[in-house]
Amino acid sequence: MPDINNSTKQIRLPLLLALTLAGGIFIGTAFTGSRPIVRGASKGVVKFREVLSSIDENYVDSVNTNALVDIAIRNMLQELDPHTAYISAKELERSNMHLKGGYDGIGVQFDIIRDTIVVVKAIAGGPSERAGVRAGDKIIKVNDEVVAGIAIGNKGVTDRLLGEKGSKVTITVIHYGASEPQEITITRGKIPQKTVVAAYMAAPATGYIKLVSFGANSYDEFKEALEKLLGQGMERLIFDLQGNGGGYMAAAERIADELIGGDRVIVSQKGKTPKYTSVVKAKRQGIFEEQPVIVLIDEYSASASEIVAGALQDNDRALIVGRRSYGKGLVQMPIRLIDGSELRLTIARYYTPSGRSIQKPYVKGENASYAHDLVQRYEHGEFYYQDSIHFNDSLKYTTPKGRVVYGGGGIMPDKFVPYDSTLNTDYYNALITSRTLREFTLTYYLQHRQELEDYTLEEYIAQFNVDQRLLAQVRALGERQGVTFREEDFRESKKHIMAYIKAEIARSVWDDAGFYPVYNAVSNPGYIEALNLGDEARALAGTY
């Protein structure tokens, strides 16, 4: 089966993400440098060449013909399905960066607070840490270019800081608590990037693994996490794919195979021609093939996430918990073009083992309405009410043990968990989007670093409390940044605000391994529900 290249920007607010998700998800086959042979399209190619040549030779003003070609390609593809896409050479390398297990850069986690790039963490052992960059540093220049106070945006930062391994970049920083700037020259290096961001014992005998994408090293990371948790007494697994927009198909197949025994089907694909039609089955002995599994999904779980969830559901191997997944089941073949750009051309559809199509409905040429599908789901009430989702009986399928599942787009969970509206009040959202909570938690960490680092994570979770004094400081900081205090919203979201503050401070000390145990326990409804479903997951595993 081919590899999949699929990525999404993952943010919390449902309506904001919905506008960008469709264009950011890609599933593809193995990368190839070959180009298709033009047959029936030859007359159209000649016609297009004639038009382009006439413009180049005769048009009254000078034109950039390469730019015209890019525009023509993008407009042409708009008449096809929503996931066939053209990626320019400049965009290509970074579009897959987070899936490759690492990237070339300076090794910092950053945020943009009050129009200033702030270092949240210098990655341990990375180029920046070795050069003297520290958490809390404000980056005001990059190679003599002023980057503070210019509304730079995340892309502007990465454009300047990423670069080929071995190349150098000079940044000017103001260390936290200092007044004078300092120039630091950094030699870029290879920065590892994990896709398993948390793996811990959520309860006695219950392990938890959070996978944020299916990258080149995801299977190895997943298996390592399984082995660690098994060593800690794990008897059942909560596998969190919420917000996971997908990735390489090979990683999804291998992870599913680790959890599915025998030679059961994992996924199939069907194209117009036999060369794009295939079936993938389990083939290796996994280390967790019989124990209970619960998989968490939501409306942002897409493509490779849906392959894994569908394979485990249709094989009666896991209890699926959460909300209906995104519905991305079209296969793209990456075709490298002569200038280094790439065409990702849809060549097949994916099907779960029971025969369900994962792909949600679409109308060719109407990609704008497709991109707003999640908004429509939200407005229709699907995030909150299971009975707002209606399936056609003609799309009903059954698993080997007789469980009813439905096709028609996405994976419908076995246990529906509504979105918690108290996570989405205007006041809570404003604290996050204004970066108030990020600024507060980072500043708190910098001011109390020694005492925080004297904790173990277990001690921190048990002993550290977000009290009224800290909440008052957050409110005051928000008001200084234009966030109007809303008493009713605050009461509704108070427990989530407290959990987010505690979790973000923990992330400053222990990275994501500190964030998720704190945040999940209060503000992840699917996780909380899964902790109560051990008996059902065990009963399902017993029928496997």
> Catalytic one among 137, 257, 314, 373?
314
pLDDT band at 89 (very low <50, low <70, confident <90, very high): confident
CA distances for 540 relative to 2, 257, 288, 339, 533, angstroms? 31, 18, 14, 52, 11
Closest to 172 measured CA to CA, from 144, 135, 213, 207? 144
Query: Does pLDDT of 12 surpass 90?
Result: no
CB 252 within 8 A of CB 308: yes
Q: Tell me phi and psi for residue 482, to 5 degrees.
A: 85, 15
Q: Please report the domains of the chain, with CATH numbers, ordered by start residue.
A: 102-192 (2.30.42.10), 196-327+351-419 (3.90.226.10), 422-527 (no CATH)
pTM: 0.88
pLDDT tens for 281-305 read 999 999 999 999 999 999 999 999 9
Tell me which residue has tokens 């050479």: 89
What average pLDDT score do residues 39-49 get? 80
pLDDT score recorded for residue 391: 77
Sorted by sequence, the CB contacts under 8 Å of residue 202 that are 6+ apart come out as 208, 238, 517, 520, 527, 531
Query: Does pLDDT of 412 surpass 60?
Result: yes
Round to whole Å and give the CA distance between 488 and 452: 32
Query: Does pLDDT of 4 surpass 80?
Result: no
pLDDT tens for 369-397 read 788 888 988 888 889 988 888 777 778 89
pLDDT score recorded for residue 39: 57
pLDDT tens for 106-132 read 999 999 998 999 999 999 889 999 999
> Catalytic one among 121, 138, 210, 328?
328
3-state secondary structure of 179: coil
Sorted by sequence, the CB contacts under 8 Å of residue 164 that are 6+ apart come out as 104, 188
CA distances for 105 relative to 76, 118, 170, 277, angstroms? 35, 16, 12, 39
Query: Does pLDDT of 11 surpass 80?
Result: no
> Catalytic one among 213, 218, 303, 325?
303
Q: Provide the mean pLDDT of the chain.
A: 89
Query: Does pLDDT of 28 surpass 60?
Result: no
> In a 10 Å sphere around its CB, with 0-12 CB exposed, 13-18 middle and 19+ buried, how is residue 153 labelled?
exposed
What average pLDDT score do residues 134-147 get? 94
Per the model's pLDDT, the better-predicted residue between 56 and 96 turns out to be 56
CB 241 within 8 A of CB 295: yes
pLDDT tens for 329-346 read 999 989 999 888 899 999
In this predicted structure, which of 382-386, 417-421, 457-461 has the lowest mean pLDDT?
Answer: 382-386
pLDDT score recorded for residue 543: 59
Closest to 256 measured CA to CA, from 299, 211, 300, 298? 211
> In a 10 Å sphere around its CB, with 0-12 CB exposed, 13-18 middle and 19+ buried, how is residue 429 labelled?
middle
328 annotated active-site: yes
Query: Does pLDDT of 500 surpass 80?
Result: yes
HEC string for 235-277: CEEEEECCCCCCECHHHHHHHHHHHCCCCCEEEEEEECCHHHC
